[in-house]
Amino acid sequence: MFACARFALLASAAVTGIAAPALAAETGDVVVTNSALSEALIAAELGEGPGDPILVTGKREGYGADRSSSATKTDSDLNDVPQAVAVVTAEQIADQAMREIGDVVDFVPGINMESGEGHRDAVVIRGQLSTADFFTDGLRDDVQHYRGLYNVERVEVLKGPNALIFGRGGAGGIVNRVIKRPFHDAYYAGAASIDSEGAGFVEVDLNSPLTLNAEGRLNATYERMDNFRDVDGERFAINPTLSWHASPDVRIDLGYEYADDDRMVDRGLPPAFEGTIANPARVVEGYDETFFGDRDVNRATFTKHVVDARVEAQLGAGLTFVSKALYGDYDKLYTNAVPSSAVTLVDGVESVKVSAYQDATRRQNFLWQNDLTAEFSTGMIAHRLLVGADLAIQDTEAGRLRGFFDTLDAEDKSPNGRETFVALADPFVVPPLTFRGGSGERSSETDVEAIGVYVQDQIEIGEHVELIAGLRHDWVDIRVADFIGDTDLSRTDSLWSPRLGAVVKPNEDLSLYASWARSYLPQSGDQFASLSPTTAALEPEEFTNREVGVKWEAVPGFDVTLAAYELNRTNVRAQDPLSTDVVLTGEQRTRGVELEVHGKVGRLSLAGGVALQDGEIVEDTEAAPAGRTLANLPELDASLWGRYEVTDKFAFGMGVSHRSEMFASISNEVVVDPLTLVDAAVFYDVTPRIGVQLNVENLFEERGITAAHGDNNLHLVDGRTARATVRVAF
């Protein structure tokens, strides 16, 4: 009742309570037409000065993006970057009513989501799974949670190892959110939305000059989640930011974000039977709306407090210094009962094994990054030289309690008290649980200190050839105090990460490139969660990427990228079947071709692409024999979203996404069937400052699995859902 009242109050404020003056006279009034509404809501793009934004007005430029500083740490034309980079703009985010990272990647080729156990973002980029390769304005954002988009200007997906820029990890690529920052003019916007399942959101975006040299901006949202499986939750977040122009050459940005997320944990459905490689299983049928857990138990709560600061200064002709720092405090608790087997006959009754656990994480991150860029020439050769250093101090307290079915007799399907078989039925009734210590309990404290230094040179030889070469050295020190085993373990790695690339430009619209890059991940994993005497002695995992590609501006404002790559992963760990020790045994290889399009042609805006990919284990082990296909890696991943402006006031959109079948894990014993989804939307300007839109997702009510976490947790795609949204801007 309180949540409904809160939602109604905020919706009313967003839609009817925003009344503000027009923009400053020298800029002209913003006309928020349906063809410009999303861009007006963004209100700013990066300008030419140090962090100096330019107000965006008039017609939208589609879904195109031509520059980024994420891939090289320097402001670079994307056609001069020798790797595949996908940018999802705020226009596209608004048009498709995206709310989380999982929505974004649906229309980026070569990347898809793992289910993340129903409580976190988990991406699979070029066959490599990660829960930590997320960044915000280039700074690490590795705590497991769902990331919202209310304060995001754009989302950038950089593919291939990126250790030179981002440090450890980044095996298949990284996902970087670029946050909205203040700009010079008064600007006030809001949105309210509700869908056919009762979910909805309200958000505000308020920007104003504070003095002649300072501006402030406030982004905030409240969101209520729900779907056809009655999996609900709510999120509140607020992000005030300040900018101060200390001088014409120095800009200082400060920000603070608070977010609170409370939602149900849905672990999905089990497979219909125990599969084999010869006869792989599929999801159980007829239980689409059945919750395989306990709605009172399965819950995740997450809060964060993040403070960030950025200083950018022009020190002289061609010399720029950027320093960024972040402190974050994160607190997460999730509890769940989870299906841990396929449907199995127990005493003649179809049943599913259930286990449960409670997991708590508290992390503090301090990140500091400093970059000095010098632009100069040596004869006929132009250089953009980057020298930098960064520091990361991350302290994590983690604990896990096991769930026990205390009401069951030892002989009544729960011999160890930690798991039981539950009859397959709707509703699926899990016996009462208690959580406490026992076998599998964890309690640890992890301290990570990482120092990185790097140098990179972007070399321009005449008008047609550009080279990029760089080298990074990381010292990563990981110390784990295991309070259950009463042991202290540590591991220090010294990592060299090189990068080489070349770009040949026959003309200004066409770029041919080739690149080679290497990245590492310590054996503690991307969350530092597992370090044993065995893994502490193992060398880090190594990722090597070779890539060639073509980037072509087919017509002004419309770009096409074609990339082919081979990504090798070595030092993959596995469990020895005889000694049960973890050893370095595995090697994986992923190969693929990706075609991506984005931009605008006339009145038509387009974004999407196709990925053809193949990933397999190439070194033979008992734990993972050679020839097995990598998990969550469809051979074909294709999507295309388009918006056509019929008139200045009316537009419609349509999108199609297709994913071929894939395996849920490297066991290759559970297969996820192909899935094709169609979305549609209509947009209309009520007035020059008010726009409305209606999005319909999964238009044809397709049923299927959208993501998996191992063989026994298969997550259903949402049914047909209609969402109405009102946006206003002044």
Q: How much is the average pLDDT of 34-46?
A: 39
State yes or no: pLDDT of 26 exceeds 80.
Answer: no
Q: What percent of the chain has pLDDT over 70?
A: 88
On whether the CB atoms of residues 360 and 336 are closer than 8 A, the answer is no
pLDDT at 38 over 50: no
Averaged pLDDT for residues 423-437: 92
Please state, in angstroms and rounded to a whole number, the distance separating the CA atoms of residues 152 and 103: 14
Mapped onto helix, strand or coil, the DSSP state of residue 51 is coil
Tell me: pLDDT of 22 over 60. Answer: no
Amino acid letter, 321: F
Who has greater pLDDT, 71 or 640? 640
Q: For residue 3, what pLDDT is reported?
A: 42
* Half-sphere exposure for 349 (CA within 13 Å, toward CB): 10
Partners of 613 in beta bridges: 592
Q: Among 220-234, 300-314, 369-383, 428-442, whose mean pLDDT is lowest?
A: 428-442
How does the average pLDDT of the chain come out, rounded? Answer: 87
Identify the pLDDT of residue 525. 75
The mean pLDDT of 15-42, rounded to a whole number, is 35
Cβ atoms within 10 Å, residue 26: 7
pLDDT tens across 69-121, in order?
A: 888 898 888 889 999 999 999 999 999 999 999 999 889 999 999 999 999 99
- The pTM of the full predicted model, rounded to 2 decimals, is 0.89
Q: Are 391 and 374 in contact (CB under 8 A)?
A: no
Average of per-residue pLDDT across 512-519: 95
Supply the pLDDT for residue 411.
52
SS3 label, residue 724: strand
Closest CA to 606 of 63, 66, 85: 63
- The mean pLDDT value for 310-317 works out to 94
Give the residue with greater pLDDT, 51 vs 545: 545
- Of 331 and 491, more confident: 331
Superfamily of the domain at 2-729: TonB-dependent receptor, beta-barrel domain (2.40.170.20)
Region 346-360: mean pLDDT is: 94
12-26, 306-320, 676-690, range with the lowest pLDDT? 12-26
Across 177-193, average pLDDT? 94
| Average pLDDT of the residues in 707-726 | 95
Instruction: Quickly state the pLDDT bin for 574 (edges 50, 70, 90).
Output: low
**Residue 357: left (phi > 0), alpha (psi -120 to 50), or beta?**
beta
Q: CA 54 to CA 56: how far, in whole Å?
A: 6
The two structure tokens encoding residue 418: 């930690």
pLDDT of amino acid 57: 25
Q: What percent of the chain has pLDDT over 90?
A: 73
Q: Helix (H, G, I), strand (E, B), or coil: what is residue 317?
A: coil
Please report the pLDDT score of residue 75 as a whole number: 87
Question: Which tokens sit at 95?
Answer: 């048009």
pLDDT(529) > 80: no
CA-wise closest residue to 81 among 73, 91, 90, 71: 71
**Which position has the higher pLDDT, 8 or 155?**
155
Q: Kind and range of the H or E element at 692?
A: strand 690-697
Contact 114, 708 (CB under 8 A): yes
pLDDT at 578 over 60: no
pLDDT bucket at 524, cuts 50 / 70 / 90: confident
CA atoms within 13 A on the CB side of 227: 18
pLDDT tier for residue 262 given thresholds of 50, 70 and 90: very high
Residues whose CB is less than 8 angstroms from the CB of residue 368 and which lie 6 or more positions away in sequence, other chains included: 323, 324, 325, 326, 390, 391, 392
pLDDT at 43: 37
Kind plus residue range of the DSSP H or E element containing 350: strand 349-378
pLDDT reported for residue 408: 62
